[in-house]
Amino acid sequence: MISMFGWKGKTLQVNLGKSKAVADRYETSLAKNFLGGRGFAVKTLWDRLKPGINAFSPENILVFAAGPLSGFALPSSSKLVVAAKSPLTGGYGDGNVGTHAVVQMRKAGYDAVVVEGRAEKPVVLLVQDKNAEFLDAKDLWGLSSFEAERKLKQLHGLAAGIVCIGQGGENLVKFANVVSQEGRAGGRPGIGAVMGSKNLKAVVFVGSGDLSAAHPKEMKDLGAEAYRDVLTKPNYAFWKRQGTMSTIEWSQENSVLPTRNYSEGVFEKAEAIGGFFMEKVKVGNRGCPHCNMTCGNVVRDSNGKESELDYENVAMLGSNIGLGDLGHVAALNRTADEFGLDTISLGNVIGFAMEASEKGLINEKVPWGEFDQTESLIEDIAYRRGLGDTLAEGVRSASERIGRNSNRWAMHVKGLEISGYDCHAAPAMALSFATCSIGAHHKDAWVISWEVKVGRESYGEEKVDKVIELQRTRGGIFESLTVCRLPWIELNFELEWYPKFLHYATGLEITWDDLNLIADRVLNLIRAFWIREYGKGWSKEMDVPPARWFEQPTTQGALRGSKLDRAKYDAMLQSYYRRRGWDERGIPTRATLKKLGLNDAAEELKNCVRLYE
Ligand code: PTT
Ligand code: SF4
């Protein structure tokens, strides 16, 4: 019997159609086998979701899930996974938000809140310890995420933890995300739109309980020591100055900065949107709860409003759309946060529209790097007007509508827009995007910094191994522990801390090998989820990056003339499948699923789609 220290052992099961919320004590095996966060989310969706449902139907299930460390006084521990079947990709979708909501949710007594059904009218779900209420949200519907959160704080107090959506989520923009604290946002594959489809404007958490650790004194002491250790890291001071923004210069130097819809990897105005320029105009620093290396760079945008900048926001709304003025980039970023639109997908679909306009494939004029028109295009996307309505469906669907071979330069994998790295000369990063568990995101394996060091040309097995190792650590372990991975990645905060934290929190001895096994279980169940959803529509082409990187070499920078080699990529993908224990179509074999204890997945895949001969 597993201890229920660390975990609260309870979820809140909510049915919006019936205005019902019931606390549920879950099996300890769930914690042992899936840990939390992403693990809980995929297990819930796998067990409860009927395959093939419309992601916007009331049957879709929305999960807010914490891990056993979330909310403890440990470095960067307060992250929340938000998940559902994605309306953008049709597969498993999730994202990760740093928020007081996770702290309050755990203090209220829950490791996860699982929401099904659709409210008849817009509501706010208020979870206050044991009580759950469904509050009328008619005065909030139509407001931006910032305005809604401010009003809710006035009503429920400054300590309340809140996640909410903006107009993008309300209007079912397929890459609308979930926003918190006026600048933290997560759920790239349209998790905000799923909230909107359920008429759920916000969830407010107010908790008065404690998180109980198995060894409270040791936990407190170790947490204090860990915070001190973070402060001693050599890169700490620079990190506090620039956070993720120094990646702009790094990407430019290494020819991977996405530029003009990923046609190039260098941008002539990179300096003007880079980390050092940002430092000159920075007015503050924000971040997630329990973090002593906060990385949200606050600047004043060209409209005079505050905007919180990260690398991805600036790469996608800057170089990728040819915009080289940081004040303007910050204004677009702020607008995206208010509407609750994912900045990565947004910059991607706008870059696509600009290229389509340049090629004369659409009637609308959307010039590269133009600010005013782009700002109003974002509003059109949020309200689904004209071209904005087409783009609100995401780049895969937009290219299908526009046709004329535009799918060759629609930059996505499995329907999720690629995040901020050009891969003309980065085969391992291309593999990472192509096999990431939610579609093209860098979150599972940000292998590119390693790849740049070891050499770009190779498609060898060492690259496949590195992608798998990172997918386990980042996509499996950090997403299920549900703590921020940046202390480890950016400051070299050692991975050895985490099994110790887990031991003092839960009382259990959980080794790194155990965590790797959990990671494989989680990632294989996610893969099974995709295959169950796509059925016979699944093929290995789902794990291939966009044609542009194979067909159109770059023309600028030190690596001009680069492109990926399709035959070598295919061989690398097959090697990846073999190492994962998947067949040549990328489907986990029965033996692999059974080894991971996923017997029901092995049976269900066999029975429901007859993919196994
Ligand atoms: C993440 C993705 C990223 S990754 C960025 S910037 W990055 C974009 N941020 C957005 C934003 O801001 N506003 C907006 N409207 N849309 C946005 N979409 C984009 O979302 C974020 C940090 C960052 S900043 C990163 S790398 C790390 N991501 C983590 C992760 O995924 N898991 C984990 N365990 N730890 C992480 N730590 C870091 O968190 P998604 P946040 Mg994020 C304004 O959402 O869907 O997961 O995609 O949550 O609290 O804002 O922290 O250069
Ligand atoms: Fe949040 Fe940045 Fe701290 Fe991570 S490092 S917890 S993203 S503020």
> What separation in Å is there between the alpha carbon of 486 and the centre of ligand 2?
7
Q: What are phi and psi of 14, to 5 degrees?
A: -115, 135
Q: Which residues of 385-415 are buried (b: 16+ CB within 10 A; e: fewer)?
A: eebbbbbbbbbbbbbeebeeebbebbbbbbb
Q: Contact 598/528 with Cβ under 8 angstroms?
A: yes
> What separation in Å is there between the alpha carbon of 63 and the centre of ligand 2?
22
Q: Which pLDDT belongs to residue 1?
A: 41
Q: Which pLDDT belongs to residue 447?
A: 98
Ligand 1 binding pocket includes 313 (Cβ within 6 Å): yes
Ligand nearest to the CA of 484: 1
- Residue range 423-432: average pLDDT? 98
Please say if the pLDDT value at position 272 is more than 90.
Answer: yes
Please say if the pLDDT value at position 168 is more than 50.
Answer: yes
> What separation in Å is there between the alpha carbon of 328 and the centre of ligand 1?
20
> What separation in Å is there between the alpha carbon of 607 and the centre of ligand 2?
43
Q: Contact 488/496 with Cβ under 8 angstroms?
A: no
Structure tokens, 408: 């060759």
- Residue range 454-463: average pLDDT? 97
Q: Which pLDDT belongs to residue 249?
A: 98
Nearest CA to ligand 2 atom 1: 288
Kindly indicate the confidence band of residue 90, based on its pLDDT and cuts at 50, 70 and 90: very high
Nearest CA to ligand 2 atom 6: 76
Ligand 1 binding pocket includes 184 (Cβ within 6 Å): yes
Distance of alpha carbon 290 from alpha carbon 293, whole angstroms: 9
Ligand 2 binding pocket includes 185 (Cβ within 6 Å): no
**What would the pLDDT profile of 237-250 be if each residue is shown by its tens digit?**
999 999 999 999 99
Nearest CA to ligand 2 atom 4: 484
Q: Which pLDDT belongs to residue 2?
A: 47
Q: Which pLDDT belongs to residue 64?
A: 98
Angle between helices 566-580 and 461-470 (to 10 degrees): 50
Kindly indicate the confidence band of residue 410, based on its pLDDT and cuts at 50, 70 and 90: very high
Q: Ligand 1 atom closest to Cα of 478?
A: 34
Ligand 1 binding pocket includes 312 (Cβ within 6 Å): yes
CB atoms within 10 A of CB 120: 10
- Residue range 420-449: average pLDDT? 98
Ligand 1 binding pocket includes 338 (Cβ within 6 Å): no
> What separation in Å is there between the alpha carbon of 409 and the centre of ligand 2?
33
- Residue range 186-191: average pLDDT? 98
Nearest CA to ligand 1 atom 15: 337
Ligand 2 binding pocket includes 291 (Cβ within 6 Å): yes
